[in-house]
Structure 1
Amino acid sequence: MSTSSATSASSGAPTMPAATDTSAGALFLHPYATIFVKSHVPLELELHSANYGKWSAFFKAMCGKFGLLHHIDGSVPPRRTDPAWEQIDCCVRMWLYGSVSQDVLDFTMAENQTARELWVAISNKFQANKAPRAIFLSEDFHSMTQGDLSVMDFGKKMKLAADVLREVGHPVAEPTLVLNLLRGIHPKFSNTKDIVAGTKDITFDEALNQFALKELRMANEAKVLSSTALVAATKGYGSSCRPSSSTAPPPQQQHLQLPQQQQQQRRRRKKGGNGSGGAQQQQYQQQQ
């Protein structure tokens, strides 16, 4: 038994092997290097997106889960001469590389930087020029309208805009969110708008659910009216195609009636011929 193994067994504290295990003759792979970052940070940070706040929250939670927050928050000074610390810091840096886009890395990645330095560079990139950005973001937020979007998509768009404003230091209060929703919602929801406006202390989610319910009801009513009109049109077309009672009889009856009509015409001709001949004979006798 080696001296390090004896010390570990006597103290009872687990120890990690060195970077190279000479006794086994194989390279040691740190457990943090086997972690798939996408399993803990499900979204990718993009340069022209509004997901920095969510990405930052996911990544901090991941580092906190493994007890590595000090590698990005600067609470512990770096130990670049310590191989064990350097190995763990490289793992955290690889997590950062794997959770941001190439465009972000083009502006923030540098040679021989620590995970903390990369974290600060990313943060500065997305939080720079807060005051000018807040002006334009606030203007976009307060001019937002629903248009062709569904109620839920419109609410999601407004909530994302509010999150971006919060990230630049201008959080949007709950009543302001509700008022902006009432201002930008489609005019067809005017009745529901009056109900929401008259509800005291209503939250943004509650107001959004009210409009979504009204939208669902209106869509169902339109579907019922469309199906009713289709049924009525189908019935009208079927009745117009039916034959009337004054139309000609079927072909079989026509074949049967044709000989009967010819026989009646012949009888009429015979009677007419006999009548005219008898009258001429009577006139001839009277003249004599």
Structure 2
Amino acid sequence: MSDKQDPTPVKALHPVYTVTNIQNKIRTLDGTKVSYSSWVRLFKLHAKGYRVLAHIDDDLLARVLEPDSTAYEAWFKIQNIFLNNKGSRAAALEHEFTNLTLRAMSSLEAYCQRLKDLASQLNDVDCPVNEKRLVLQLVRGLPSEFDTAGAYINQTLPPWDTACSMLQLEIQRQRARDSHSSTEIVATVEHDPPANSNILLQ
């Protein structure tokens, strides 16, 4: 019996076959929580990682969605759905962006995320929002208890992430102050006798 190994090379499995559920890799495109531009970036990132990026422009790809439809055509159909009627979409997004307030949201985190999502969607319709404007709008929607922190952010115009962190620290500071004040009030009530206690003792 020969000890020689089979010289036939074993063909490596293409990475794309390791994906069992694409939804675990790419979030569902809904145009609200996941904007078109962020979905495209994520899609292309995974397509490159799994070595199928070239298929996006391959008109010989197997038919998808409709008869005689290529991946290239399907890609641009999605693009048109989310980028058509740019004028009206931009007006609606701009209105929500400039009128959003912290009080209208459930938390600071939700407020920051919604502003970021709206800015991303405005970028999709050719109305770019730069970081400075995003930070200024962040401050604009704050209630009066953030006036001091907001004024400092307006003056220094820190990066977006830094501005959000500063506001989170301000919330923590306000909560600690309120908690300390409540403790002092309780302590005062417990140790100070009622005003008429001397009368009752006589």
Alignment CA distance shift 1:112-1:148 (3 Å): same
SS at match of 2:169: helix
The answer to whether structure 1 residue 46 and structure 2 residue 30 are counterparts is yes
Q: Deviations along 1:156-178, whole A, 9 cap, x unmatched? A: 21111101101111111122112
Matched residue type, 2:88: P
- Structure with bigger gyration radius: 1
Q: CA deviation at 1:237?
A: 7.3
Is the CA contact 2:119–2:129 (under 8 Å) kept in the aligned structure 1?
Answer: yes
| Matching residue of 1:23 | none
Q: Mark the runs of 5 or more structure 2 residues left unpaired by the alignment.
A: 1-5
**Structure 1: any 5+ residue segments left out of the alignment?**
1-5, 17-29, 80-85, 94-108, 247-288
Match of 2:59 among 47, 71, 77: 77
Match among 142, 163, 180 for residue 137 of structure 2: 180
Q: In structure 2, what residue type is equivalent to 1:14?
A: K
3-state DSSP class of the match of 1:44?
coil
1:107-134 C-alpha deviation (Å, 9 max, x unpaired): xx43453333322221211111112211
Q: 1:15 to 1:198 in 2, by over 3 A?
A: closer
Q: Is the 8 A contact 2:102 2:143 kept in 1?
A: yes
Show CA shifts across 1:35-57 (max 9, x none): 3213321x212265553222222
- The structure-2 alpha-carbon separation of the partners of 1:193 and 1:110, relative to structure 1 and needing over 3 Å to count, comes to same
Deviation at 1:226, TM superposition (A): 1.5
Shift of 1:136: 1.9
1:140, 1:164 → 2: CA distance?
Answer: 11
- C-alpha separation between the residues in 2 aligned to 1:187 and 1:180? 15
TM-score between the two structures when normalised by the length of structure 2: 0.78
Residue 256 of structure 1 is matched in structure 2 by none
Q: Does 1:37 align with 2:22?
A: yes
Tell me how far 1:137 sits from its aligned partner: 1.2
Which residue pairs with 1:157 in the alignment?
114
Mapped to 2, the partners of 1:203 and 1:156 lie a distance apart of: 15
In structure 1, distance between residues paired with 2:99 and 2:38:
24
Q: 1:121 aligns with which of 60, 74, 77?
A: 77
1:262 maps to which residue? none
Of structures 1 and 2, the one scoring higher in RCO (CA 8 A, sep 6+) is 2
Name 1:14's counterpart in structure 2. 11
Q: Does residue 51 of structure 2 align to residue 67 of structure 1?
A: yes
Name the CA distance, whole Å, in 1 between partners of 2:160 and 2:12: 52
In structure 2, C-alpha distance between the alignment counterparts of 1:62 and 1:68, rounded to whole Å:
9
Write the distance in 1 (CA, Å) between the matches of 2:153 and 2:32. 34
Partner of residue 87, structure 2: 131
Change (3 A) 1:121 1:236: same
* 1:224 aligned partner, one-letter code: H
Correspondence for 2:102: 146
Task: Please identify runs of 4+ aligned residues in structure 1 that moved more than 6 A.
Answer: none
> Do the aligned partners of residues 54 and 159 (structure 1) sit closer, same or farther apart at CA in structure 2, a change above 3 Å counting?
same
SS at structure 2 position matched to 1:147? helix
Whichever residue aligns with residue 46 of structure 1, its letter is D
* Cα separation, partners in 2 of 1:197 and 1:113, compared to 1, 3 Å: same
Distance change in 2, residues 1:237/1:112 (3 Å): farther
Following superposition, the deviation at residue 220 of structure 1 comes to 0.9
| Distance (Å, rounded) in 2 between the aligned partners of 1:48 and 1:158 | 11
| Identical residues among aligned pairs (%) | 23
| CA apart distance, 1:15 | 8.0
Aligned twin of 1:19: none
Measure, in 1, the Cα distance between the counterparts of 2:137 and 2:99.
9
CA RMSD in angstroms comes to 3.3
Tell me the residue number matched to 2:3: none
Cα deviation, residue 152, structure 1: 2.9
Aligned to 1:57: 41
Q: Distance between the aligned counterparts of 1:154 and 1:38, measured in 2?
A: 26
